[in-house]
Chain A
Amino acid sequence: IANSYNRPTLIQLQNTREEEEEQQTTAQQEEQTKRWEATELEEEHVHDAAVPPLAGDPPAADPPSPPPSKDDFQEELVIRPLHSGDIYASFQFRTVWDADFMGDQKVSHYRLFPKSLGQVITKFSVRELHISFTQGYWRTMQWGQPYLPSPPGAELWVWFQDTVTDVDGTWKELTNVLSGIFCASLNFIDSTNTVQPSASFKPLGIGNVTDHSFLRYATLPREIVCTENLTPWKKLLPCGSKAGLSVLLKSEKLFHSTFHSQAVHVRPVCQDPQCRTTSMELRQTLNVVFDLHTSGQGKREWSLFKMFSRTLTEACPLASSSKVYVDVTDNPQGEQFELSPATPLLTQAVVLGDRRTYSVYDLTQQASFGSSRSLNMLLRWKMLRPLLHSERYVAGYGLQAGEIHTLIYNHHPYRAFPVLLLSAVPWYLRLYIHTLTVSSKGKDNRPSYIHYQPSKDRERPHLLEMLLQLPPNSVTEVTVEFERALLKWTEYTPDPNHGFYVGSSVISALVPSVVAMDTNSTLDRPLFSSFFPCKEEASYFMRVYTEPLLVNLPTPDFSMPYNVICLTCTVVAVGYGSLYNLLTRTFQVDEPSPGLAKRIANVIRRFRGVPLL
């Protein structure tokens, strides 16, 4: 039956949906035709109202007195089979709380919102906070775009409220506190790796702040993400790892993967379409890519159990919505893979400029829990061509100079679009900004905006931001030469021959969309499609991170510093001193000075005119 289903046009879709809604009310579970999930606001309200009685047990678990402000928790898992044969799983947990953190009244009663984060936000007057921990690099050429991009290592960017007077001090304190909350080395963020981007990082929530003095951005490319970071992250969830989707978050499986990224985003959002009041939104996201080639002995089948070594048994009782989406866009006729158990519910979402079709499993519906929880599929793929991707590398050889090349690919067949390129390069790579060249298709491509802040040794990194226009179907190459600085001997890391990291460049772009986008951000949409607010109908916002770089600096031999220092000093002192002496002076035999008697005798002889003694 699934094979006979044809993707309908939009008008047909509406009709089918109405029909299917009716069918839903009659609750005919035997009806195996696919249905479309409600995507409009009114319908969703109805849907919401239907949830609490259906879930059954949550009211008993809830605290008896309702909290003064309304809060709401949603959880969601998107599974996307990737072209390379890997599986991309993206978790999103959203807690929205209608409390006003920015106002004067103190927020002290916490229900779903994690108290530890809430206190941090209040104390440091944080408007927006975005933190991500990533292990691995997102392979855009093989995997396409991620729902939430993040650079390898840790990334932290924060917009402070304009009431903050000492932003740098607050930032320093905040990083230290966050470091404690997430068990990460965020305390290594200091002025040497912090920048204030002027254009790339705009607030993602409401509020159009333009004064970038309240923004701080830092990356720690070296940060290694492991279980110790996952556990505190899980503790922020209302259900912990006890129920709902979070039971799948088993660290031994999550870290047996090709890519792992976890993030926390806090921002203010509109409460209603008119945006009269704001609420605080906390989004916790976790993205994993599983290489099933490795664990599946070369087979590309997957199941929840194979990926997470767990199956789902219930939704989180505190969640108002709990859904699993599986991307079936590439399988419209069902000729490429088969999902089991088959779900009758389908939804469409426009994400990253592409209309995708998803099979939906609603965990709040008991009907979703059939006899088995595993999904199996078989698939073959064609060559992938993402619209925008990038590549970065260090060119040249030797330990003196080098060149950073950044290649940005625009694969759109006929549209040019602008991108913002941000690179923050540590001070020990001394950029020669006069060698900056930007070229596309062999021609010079002059950036329309350049913001460059030179580095200061041991204080702050280089910041280079550019607005580039990418011609259609082209590669744009940005090159800049640099010189490797010789560090002081205490500044080398304990493993200096490993090299030094340069964090990822960030490419922010408005990419022309193939389909029209919905600009109303308050509409209820799947979470993964609504992170970046959409301003225009014809284009969508996208961010691409390049590879971090590992650069070798000239390194002294640290194997025996004491011997080397002693030997060098001795050679310099003895050898140089005496050689210099020999070269600059002449030596003559000194006649011993004559005695007093002889001198007097000579004086007398001189008077007498006889030869001296």
Chain B
Amino acid sequence: MGLLSDPNRRRALIGMLTRLNAPICMICYMAGVAWFMGLAFEPFTLRTYMSENAMGSTMVEERFPAGERALATGREFAAHKKKTGGMPVDWLVRTMQARGLEVYTQRFSRKLPFPDEDKERYMVKGTNVYGILRAPRAPRTEALVLSAPCSPGNENNQAVGILLGLAQYFRSQIYWAKDIIFLVNEHDLIGMQAWLEGYHHTNTTGMDWSPLQGRGGSIQAALSLELSSDVVTSLDLVLEGLNGQLPNLDLANLFYAFCQKIGVLCTTQGKLPRNDWDTTSGYSHAVQTMMLMVLKQASSRPWGDHGLFLRYHIEAASIKGVNSFRPYKTDATTVGRLLEGMYRKLNNLLERLHQSYFFYLMPSLTRFVSIGYYMPAFGLLALILLLRALDLWVQLSSPPTRTTEDACPPLCPLSAPQPASPGVLSILTPLVISHLTGVALYTLPVLSQELAVEHFPVSETEAVVLTAIAIYTAGLALPHNTHRLLAGEGTEQGWKVLKLVAVLYLAVLLGCTALINFSLVFPERGLLVGVNDPGLTLLFAVFFFQELQETPVTLQEGWMLYLSVISQGILDHALYGSLLYPLAALLVYPCWLLFWNILFWK
């Protein structure tokens, strides 16, 4: 700081920074990317460890015996589901009551803003059924949740079976200190959203639900189970929740600890942890796992039923059973024992999970990168923007002074505001216009769907997506024409002011996003490299994600996927309050339009 207070040295420093601006930016960029890729390199990461004392030292014995019976219950559930053509509410209530739980139901209904073609639903009506196992001698202040979705078709029957089996087994144990809520939710996330809103008596998304009759106090942790086969080869842990929120790392550690203890293969992002970090394939495996996590987190959508719990400060994760062609299989009893162990450890918790990290990336299930390690990568990238801004600022304030300074010292204070005032005015126009375009992109697609359906031969969903794309593309043409109409001149000065504002805008935007959802910064970073379209970035991300998941798609399929991703993004915002769509439409897109404007300034 002393360096900056000394005018001579400050001038020298600034001179150096402006002279070497481009090379420094390049170095920062390379260093940032290299740092980020280095995060997946095993020697640079930390091994996961259990931070919470209450879950660490006391080992529990898992004794759940009734896997086969649970599967039989699952088959019975499937039969009743087929018979009623939906959630077998009466059967579930009776079965849970027979297992000694307090059973309640909740009805909900929701009209989507436009039909969801992926899941084929528009007017959603359903019922959640949940049973509460009251802990002995506990005053209903704390609870744990185990949920399984009632999915259409033949999916997740085994999950419901194991849930009921565990309920029966847990009911006969005395050691529970927290109430355990067994929840079967219909219409996956919509049902879960209704239940959580009912439980906490909030209404953020305008859904209709009937109030809950029974509660168990504040929920400490939740697990959501998805299982569609009698035997599994591995269990996959899903952590990414709404708006990129993650549960406390201890929950992942707990899962991993029990997988190790019981001997179940466990994965995250569907990728097994590998030991050969020093080989190229081992490293690229870690990079793939981490990039998958980054992309999923950046998508801001809940990747399992657990995702909505995180908003309520409830640590939650989904466990998905995977049945592949690997020969070694795990039966339902073992899955039940794993869950039993996890619940007994969670039951031992005295405080909420808070000891471990909330911000992390996982290159494998055994390794993690904490916020302290990945933030420098972002810092290096953000530095480029600040250096650029500094360069522009110096150029704006100093270049003419070299010649005019000695000639007219009294005139300079007068001439300084003169170039600034048209600059401010001229950038105001593109700023306002690009933001108005952003507002149009945010509001019009859903509002104008009826109009579009009337005049074009498309379905409502297509109408919404195509309107969005149309407004988006129209936005490209608008601003650089209008600013000429309004401001009339494209001065060099104005161009620089606009660029300065745009660069600072992007820096602030990135800084704020990095604090909320770090992964989102990297797609946004695309804007940095010049003319990289947010739409194209999304398209690229879709292909990249499919590539990472080892399910490459053709161009045609990719395009369809792209369209559905857009519609899902809008739906996520309307249904669960995901912030990606408003962020992209109201802030990122206008910011990018500013850059677009700069490109077409002259």
Contact = CB atoms under 8 A, between A and B. Distances in A.
Interface stretch (B5-13, B33-41, B388-396): B5-13
Nearest to B213: A391
B352 A498 contact: yes
Secondary structure at chain B's binding surface: helix, strand, loop or mixed?
A: loop
Contacts of B136: 136, 257-259, 291, 294
Given A152-B139, A257-B136, A403-B201, A294 B174 contact: yes
A574 B137 CA distance: 54
B1 interface: yes
Contacts of B355: 559
A139 B134 contact: yes
Interface in A245-297: 255-260, 291, 293-295, 297
A582 interface: yes
B46 interface: no
B403 interface: no
Interface residues on B, range: 35 or more
A256 B141 contact: no
B82 interface: no
B44 interface: no
Interface in A544-588: 547-552, 555, 559, 574, 578-579, 581-582, 587-588
A578 B5 contact: yes
Contacts of B215: 391, 393
Interface in A211-256: 221, 255-256
B573 interface: no
Contact of A501 (B134, B141, B313): B141
B201 A142 contact: no
Interface in A291-331: 291, 293-295, 297-298
A10 interface: no
A155 B583 CA distance: 52
Nearest to A559: B355
A176 B141 CA distance: 28
A221 B139 contact: yes
Contacts of B137: 135-136, 255, 257-260
Contacts of A579: 1
Contact of A393 (B8, B138, B139, B201): B201
Interface string A6-46: 00000000000000000000000000000000000000000
Nearest to B173: A294
A2 interface: no
A395 B217 CA distance: 10
A582 B134 CA distance: 62
Interface in B174-190: 174
B370 interface: no
Contacts of A399: 313
B350 A498 contact: yes
A322 B52 CA distance: 52
A397 B100 CA distance: 31
A119 B6 CA distance: 81
Given A397-B313, A588-B7, A549 B172 contact: no
A295 B134 CA distance: 15
Contacts of A548: 139-141
Contacts of B312: 397
Contacts of B10: 587
Contacts of B6: 587
A202 interface: no
Interface string B342-363: 0000000011101100000000
Contact of A136 (B8, B139, B313, B351): B139
A574 B7 CA distance: 19
Interface string A147-171: 0000011000000000000000000
Contacts of A394: 218
A579 B2 CA distance: 10
Nearest to B353: A497
A258 B2 CA distance: 68
Contacts, number: 112
B202 interface: yes
Interface string B1-41: 11011111010000000000000000000000000000000
Contact of A293 (B142, B172, B213): B172
B94 interface: no
Nearest to B212: A393
A514 B161 CA distance: 45
Contacts of B200: 395-397
A418 interface: no
A472 interface: no
A547 B139 contact: yes
Interface in B496-519: none
B1 A256 contact: no
A397 B311 contact: yes
Interface string A463-483: 000000000000000000000
B171 interface: yes
A549 B351 contact: no
Contacts of A578: 1-2, 4-5
Contacts of B134: 139, 258
A396 B199 CA distance: 9
A484 interface: no
A104 interface: no
Given A137-B138, A152-B139, A257-B137, A549 B8 contact: no
A172 interface: no
A551 B141 CA distance: 9
Contacts of B171: 293-294
A550 B141 contact: yes
B155 interface: no
A491 interface: no
A420 B586 CA distance: 52
Contact of A582 (B4, B100, B172, B201): B4
Contacts of B352: 497-499, 552
A13 B432 CA distance: 91
A373 interface: no
Interface string A489-522: 0000001111101000000000000000000000
A221 B8 CA distance: 67
B102 interface: yes
Contacts of A582: 1, 4-5
Contacts of B202: 395-397
Interface in B398-428: none
Interface in A383-435: 391, 393-399, 403, 405
A587 B7 contact: yes
A291 B173 CA distance: 10
A152 to B, nearest CB: 3
Contacts of A559: 355
Interface string B56-69: 00000000000000
A141 interface: yes
A197 interface: no
Contact of A589 (B8, B217, B313, B350): B8
Contacts of B173: 294
A547 B5 contact: no
B102 A589 contact: no
Contacts of A495: 350-351
Identify which of A85, A135, A397, A579 gathers the most chain B CB atoms within 10 Å of its CB.
A397
A85 B139 contact: no
A524 to B, nearest CB: 34
A273 to B, nearest CB: 41
B493 to A, nearest CB: 24
A549 B174 contact: no
Interface in B348-391: 350-352, 354-355
18 contacts: A136-B136, A139-B134, A141-B102, A255-B137, A256-B174, A291-B174, A294-B174, A298-B172, A397-B312, A403-B201, A495-B350, A548-B141, A550-B141, A552-B313, A555-B354, A579-B1, A581-B5, A582-B4
Given A137-B138, A257-B137, A587-B6, 6 more contacts: A136-B137, A137-B140, A391-B215, A394-B218, A549-B217, A552-B313
Instruction: Give the 5 A-B residue pairs with the shortest CB-CB distance, closest first.
Output: A578-B1, A395-B201, A152-B139, A497-B351, A136-B137
